[in-house]
């Protein structure tokens, strides 16, 4: 049993993403970063931007400054289940879906749809 456990943990030690129950790989290694609508990471700090910063330590910050009279800033913890990203803050949870082919996240909130893509470093 100890040998099986040791072999089962090898992918975790090597940083290889584990397969999920659906047979797809969970992209947790490439997930941390800054996600936004457009531009590059340094430009995403403007007041009218929507950004999601995912940290490698399991925390996140979501900022929506699109409505200057009602800016939103949330902090919490995240986890991945297959291609589903769950953002947990206080007693609430947001569910985002990771795109198959692009480093983007999408979510639906009532009749509003949001899509945020990973922002690269500015040149």
What residue ranges do the domains of the chain occupy? Answer: 27-118
Alpha-carbon gap, residue 27 to 34, rounded angstroms? 15
Helices (H), the chain: 2-14
Give the burial class of 98: count Cβ atoms within 10 A of its Cβ; 0-12 exposed, 13-18 middle, 19 or more buried.
buried
Q: How much is the pTM?
A: 0.67
Alpha-carbon gap, residue 91 to 73, rounded angstroms? 15
The architecture in CATH of the region 27-118 reads: Beta Barrel (2.40)
Q: What are the pLDDT tens digits along the chain (123 aa)?
A: 444 444 443 333 334 344 433 444 445 457 899 898 866 666 555 545 788 999 999 999 998 888 889 988 999 999 999 999 999 998 899 999 999 888 899 999 888 888 898 987 765
Helix (H, G, I), strand (E, B) or coil at 105: strand
Helix (H, G, I), strand (E, B) or coil at 44: helix
């Amino acid at each position: 049993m100890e040998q099986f456990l040791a072999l089962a943990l090898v992918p975790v030690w090597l940083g290889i993403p584990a397969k999920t129950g659906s047979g797809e790989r969970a992209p947790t290694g490439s997930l941390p970063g800054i996600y936004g609508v457009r531009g590059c990471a340094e430009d995403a700090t403007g007041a009218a931007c929507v950004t999601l910063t995912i940290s490698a330590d399991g925390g996140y910050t979501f900022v929506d400054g699109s409505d200057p009279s009602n800016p939103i800033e949330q902090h919490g913890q995240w986890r991945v289940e297959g291609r589903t990203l769950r953002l947990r803050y206080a007693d609430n949870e947001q569910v985002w879906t990771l795109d198959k082919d692009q480093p983007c996240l999408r979510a639906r909130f009532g009749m509003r749809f949001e899509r945020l893509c990973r922002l690269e470093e500015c040149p």
